[in-house]
A = this chain, B = another copy of it.
Amino acid sequence: MTRWLLDGEEAGAIDLDDRGLAYGDGLFETIAWRDGAPRLFERHLARLADGCRRLALPPPEPRVLAAQITGLGRGVACGTVKIIVTRGSGPRGYAPPPSAAPRLAVGFSTAIGTHAVGRGARALTSSVPASENRALGGIKTLNRLDNVLAQAEVARRGAGEGIMLGHDGRLVGGTRANLFLVRDRVLFTPAVDAAGVAGVMRGLVLEIAAHHDIPVQVGRGSPQDLVQAEEIFLTSSLVGIRAVQFMDGRELAVGPLTQRLIAALAAGGVVEPAS
């Protein structure tokens, strides 16, 4: 059960004319609530603000958002926060009406996600491609049907995570996480300029790697890299770093670079960016 505030008021429902429903005209964030506080909050705010800028939506006021989240989580140790920003209600038609007043929904759930348990992830390459659009790449929009269909497919096939490819077969990322792999001792993650999401944990892991002088490449990968990778892991705000134990059936160990990054993250690599 999620408890929701809509524009600051307890609510269960949103206007049927809302453009978030009609067109996915909005953004969301999913934030880990740990030890009574939102984890990596400044980083989530920064990504949300970037998405708002790209969709020409006014970003929510950080202090208002913080107060709402803190109010919902009061007295709870662990949970999940969801933020949805929509362009608000409008008459029929794709063009955002000048009159539209954006809406802010903040949800709190005590669930922390079943994929947080267990050792390594079981991942399969999904046959559902990632939706591509360079105007939307990297931001966490409400247009996520590709992830929905891919996650449904791999769940049917007994896996917890799907690896999604672009129309041209290049690596994009996981269905619920960003993808990292170690190729020739270099840490690699796919670019998210045309598809996928620029994960908050992905950004942090890239910073930690740079801080530890681990060579990093962000760019183009192929399914062949999944076959040849020495190590594969997934990152997400809720789970942190999670090793892939089975990639399309091939068993991998939790490799030295993955272990090193997990240790660095646990040791306080979690740094809020300067605001």
Which residues of A are in contact with B by a Cβ distance under 8 Å? Answer: 2, 4, 6, 11-25, 28, 30, 55-56, 80, 82, 84, 86, 91-96, 105, 107, 109, 111, 113, 128-136, 141-152, 155, 167, 175-176, 194
Least CB separation from A155: chain B residue: B95
Q: Which residues of B contact A91 (CB under 8 A)?
A: 2, 109, 111
In angstroms, Cα B17 to Cα A25, docked, is 16
Whether A142 lies near B21 (C-beta < 8 A) is yes
Report how many copies the assembly holds: 2
Q: Most B CB atoms within 10 A — which of A12, A132, A134?
A: A132
One of B131, B132, B134, B176 near A94 (C-beta < 8 A): B176
Q: Are B145 and A23 in contact, with the CB atoms below 8 A?
A: yes
Closest to A15 in B: B13
Q: List 22 A-B contacts (CB under 8 A).
A: A2-B91, A2-B92, A12-B16, A14-B21, A18-B21, A23-B142, A23-B144, A25-B144, A25-B145, A25-B148, A30-B92, A55-B149, A91-B109, A91-B111, A92-B109, A129-B133, A131-B136, A132-B133, A133-B146, A142-B145, A143-B143, A143-B145
Contact check, B16 vs A107: say whether CB atoms are below 8 A apart.
Answer: yes
Which of A18, A24, A107 has the largest count of B CB atoms less than 10 A from its CB? A24
The answer to whether A133 touches B130, judged by C-beta atoms less than 8 angstroms apart, is yes
Task: Check A16–B17 contact: CB distance below 8 A.
Answer: no
Query: Closest CB of chain B to A54's CB: distance in Å?
Result: 9
Residue of B6, B30, B93, B111 near A176 (CB, 8 A) is: B93
Say whether A135 contacts B129, CB under 8 Å: yes
Cα A6 to Cα B17 in complex, Å, equals 12
Asked if B131 and A131 make an inter-chain contact with CB atoms under 8 angstroms apart, the answer reads yes
Q: Bound state CA distance, A155 and B148, in angstroms? A: 32
